[in-house]
Amino acid sequence: MHPIVKLLVQRIALGLVLLLAVSAVIFLGVEALPGDTAQAILGQSATPQALENLRAQMGLDQPALTRYFNWLGGVMTGDLGKALTNGVDISQAIGQRLGNTLFLAGCAAVIAVPLALILGAVAARYAGRWPDKVISAVTLTTISLPEFVAAYFVIYLLTILFPVFQPVAMVFPGMSFWAKLQAVALPVIVLVMVVLAHMMRMTRAAILNVMQSAYIETAELKGLSPMTIIWKHAFPNAIAPVISVVAINLAYLVVGVVVVEVVFSYNALGQYLVDHVTKRDLPVVQAVGLIFAAVYIGLNIIADVTAIIANPRLRHPK
C-alpha cells in the first residue's frame, strides 16, 4: 500500500476512535450538570407530580448507561432522535442550522484566508518596515478585542452611525443569495477581524523562516523581484505550518462563534446549542457536540494530510 493511503486510513480510524471518546465525554459532562431536563422545562412551575410524569415520559428514569448506548445506536443509524423539549426531529433541525453555520463560516473564510496570506506575505516582504508594522498593529488590535465588543462596535458604526447594514443577521430559506450575503455582512466583518491576525502572523513567520535559506539567496542573486521570490520559492516551502493554523481557524469559525451568533441573532448551530443546554436537552446537546467534534477532527485530519502532501520530505519517507 502507498504510504500516503496507509496514513490516510490510519488518521481516519484514529479520528473515529477520538470521536467515540468525545461522545462519552460529552455525555458525562452533561450528566454532571446540576438539575435535569424535566426540572429545566418546568422551571419555577415544577410540582413533584408533574416532574415525575415528565421524567417517565422522556425516559429520564432509566440508568445513564442505558440511555448512552441507546443514543449511540441511534447515531450509527443516522437517527439523532427527537428534542426532548419540543419533540422536533433533531437531524432535520440541525440540517438547516448547520447549513447556516457553514454559510457564515464559508463567507468569513473566503475573505479572511486569502487576505491573511496576502497580508502575511506583504508583511514578510517589508519585515521590520512600516507596512509590516501597520499590518501587525491593526490585526493584533482586532484580535485583542473580545468578539462581543467588536460586534457592538460594528453594530454602532454600521447600523446607527452609518446605516448600511442590518444589526439582526437572520437568514431564511427562500432568501436570495445576495440578500443572505447582505444579512450576514456584520458577523462576517467581526469574524474576519477575529481570525485574521493568527493566520497572518503565522504566514509572516513561516515565510521569514524560509527566507534565511541558501536557495532564497540564490534566487535573489538571479535577480528575481522580492515578491516573486516569496510566492514562487518561499511560500511553497512555508505552507505546512500555515495550513495547520488555517485549519484551526476554520474549525473555530464553525464551532466557536456562539457569541457572535447570539449577538447578531444569527440562526445557526451555536445558538441552537445554547438554547438546548439551558433546557438540559441532552439528545440535542450531544448531537451538536458530536457534530462540532467531527468538524474539528475532520479539519485537523485534512490539515495533517495536506501538510504531508505539501512536504516532499514527509511524502517520500526513507
Partner 1 sequence: MTEKLDWMVARARQGKMTRREFVGRTTAMGVSAALASALYTKAAHAEVKKGGTMRVGLAGGESTNTLDPALAASVVPQVGNASWGEQLVDMNPDGTIDFRIGEEVSSSPDSKVWTFKIRQGVTFSDGKPVTAEDVLATFKRHTDENAQSGALGIVKGISDMKAEGDKLTLTLDQPSADLPYLLTDYHLIIQPGGGYDNPNAGVGAGPYILETFEPGVRYVLKKNPNYWDDSIGHADSIEILSINDNTARTAALQSGQVHMMNRIDPKIAQLLANAPGVEVRRAVGRGHYVFIMHVDKAPFDNNDLRMALKLAVKREEMVEKVLGGLGSVGNDFPINAAYPLFDDTIPQREYDAAAAKAAYDKSGHDGSPIILRTAPGAFPGAVDAANLFAASAQAAGIPLQIQLEPDDGYWSNVWNVQPFCASYWGGRPTQDTMYSTAYLSTAEWNDTKFNNAKFDELLLAARAELDETKRKADYSAMAHIVRDEGGLILPMFNEFVAGIRANEIGGWIDDPNAEMMNYRAPSKCWLV
CB of 44 to partner 1, least distance (A): 5
Assigned C-alpha cell, 271? 445558538
Q: Which is nearer to partner 1, 66 or 86 (CB)?
A: 86
Query: How many CB atoms lie under 10 A from the CB of residue 138?
Result: 15
Burial class (CB in 10 A: 0-12, 13-18, 19+), 237: middle
Select from 12, 136, 275, 301 the one that contacts partner 1 (CB under 8 A): 275
Neighbours of 133 (CB within 10 A): 13
87 near partner 1, rule: CB under 8 A: yes
Question: Which CB, 52 or 79, lies closer to partner 1?
Answer: 52
C-alpha 37/C-alpha 43 separation (Å) is 10
Cβ at position 30, least distance to partner 1 in Å = 12
Nearest to 27, CA basis, from 58, 71, 61: 71
Q: Which residue in 276, 282, 283, 296 binds partner 1 (CB under 8 A)? A: 276
Nearer to partner 1, 272 or 296 (CB): 272
Task: Give least dist CB 229 to partner 1, A.
Answer: 47
Farthest-apart Cα atoms in the chain, separation = 85
- How far does Cα 22 stand from its chain's mean position? 17
Cβ neighbours of 107 (radius 10 Å): 19
180 binds partner 1 (CB under 8 A): no
Contact with partner 1 (CB under 8 A) among 13, 24, 168, 227: 168
> Which CB, 9 or 50, lies closer to partner 1?
50
Residues 57-86 that bind partner 1 (CB under 8 A): 57, 83, 85-86
Strand runs (DSSP E) across the chain, as ranges? Answer: none
DSSP three-state, residue 89: strand
Query: Where along the sequence are the contacts to partner 1 (CB under 8 A)?
Result: 33-36, 39-40, 42-47, 49-50, 53-54, 57, 83, 85-88, 93, 152, 155-156, 159-160, 163, 166-168, 170, 172, 262-265, 267, 271-272, 275-276, 278-279, 281
